Amino acid sequence: MTDTESTHAYSELTALRTFMGEPSELAAKKCITRLDKHCRQFISRSPFVCIGTTDGAGKADVSPKGDPPGFVQVLDDKTLFIPDRPGNNRIDSMSNLLKEPAIALLFLIPGFDETLRVNGKASVIRDQTLNAASIVKGRVPKIGIKVTVDTAFLHCAKALKRSHLWDPKSLQDRKTMPSLGQMITEQTTPPGKDADQTEISEAEQRVQESIRSNLY
């Protein structure tokens, strides 16, 4: 890229690494191949994880999963189990895993600026013992994701500190955007046509009813 170029798209790792520089020694060596005591404790405190998958042909997905802290079971230092709760039945993550088992996990703990990243291979399983151990409010999950860990490492606090994610002063008023039912109705209304207010109200009722009756 010359001084006169305003945009440059990188296609080779060597050129990108030359531009970005090498990682610090600590960043390069912190990646481990098992879940040590610190990873286990982090997962036991985490009520929220983002799951990254791909179908191997370019279709990627990131899905959030949330439950009481420690809902992701650590079976041993190489194995995790993530129970699946009722949702929209799109099963984007699971359908991807049937084609490509690679998985990436990002664990968050409210109030912690550090995160935990876990990468591995996963399978979609129905295991009565694991499901029973994931019971919440008397409801047992139907199915789950079993992860064999390849790598794990703690991610530094910079991103969450920059975003002020946990700072109460950074919380935004939900009312500054339309309801989920309204947004989805407007997004699915044909171009050039206004969304019908009755349809918006019905969509919002369905969203709220799903949360009330199908949370677990």
Q: Give the SS3 label for residue 97.
A: helix
pLDDT 10s digits, 122-166: 999 999 999 999 999 999 999 999 999 999 999 999 999 999 999
Domain ranges of the chain: 22-163, 172-213
Residue 201: what are its φ and ψ, rounded to 5°? -65, -45
CATH superfamily of the 22-163 domain: Electron Transport, Fmn-binding Protein; Chain A (2.30.110.10)
The predicted structure's pLDDT at residue 4? 62
Closest by CA position to 92, among listed 49, 131, 52: 52
DSSP state of 139: B
- 69: helix, coil or strand? coil
* Parts of the chain with a pLDDT under 50: none
pTM of the model: 0.91
